[in-house]
Structure 1
């Protein structure tokens, strides 16, 4: 299951995010989204967990819990096609 993790402190690393989720099961990948020009975190990322029951447990346990001073928002990521349009791109 692909899990969205938002409201992250900008200092959180991929390794720290992986360590937090690893307590709940196997991790396939961790992708912290960064600005393509500065390389700095944008404050959100995605964690892929192959076992859905472990992923559900992690979501329930970690949503709205603090990590480096900010409460994480954790939920199942929506497929790209289900996102609302951001308006015209010129």
Structure 2
């Protein structure tokens, strides 16, 4: 199961995140999302756990728990949805003006 973790302390590393979730079972991966330009943490990340029961237990126990002085938000990660409906292909682009 893929788990979303929000409101993480900005100084938390991926190994720290992994250690928190390993208390509830085996962690396949732990990733903190960072800004492409600055490399600074965006304050959220994802943990992948193979066992759904362990993952659900971690979600229940850790949601709203205090970590590094912040109350983290933990829930099952949902697939990203397009706000406009439909698929995410194409967009804008150059349009010629008609010649009169």
Is TM-score (shorter-chain normalized) higher than 0.5? yes
Greater gyration radius: 2
Distance between the aligned counterparts of 2:82 and 2:70, measured in 1? 26
Equivalence for 1:40: 40
Q: Which runs of 5 or more residues in structure 2 are unaligned?
A: 85-90, 93-100
- Report 1:1-90 matches (<5 A): 1-80=1-80, 83=81, 85=83
Other structure's SS at 1:5 match? strand
Paired residues in the alignment total 86
Q: Distance in 1 between matches of 2:79 and 2:58?
A: 19
- Which structure has more relative contact order (CA 8 Å, sep 6+)? It is 1
- Between Structure 1 and Structure 2, the one with more helix by share is 1
RMSD over aligned CA atoms reads: 1.4
CA distance in 1, matches of 2:72, 2:25: 18
What TM-score, normalized by structure 1, do the two folds share?
0.90
Q: Distance in 1 between the 2:70 and 2:12 partners?
A: 10
Q: TM-score, normalised by structure 2?
A: 0.81
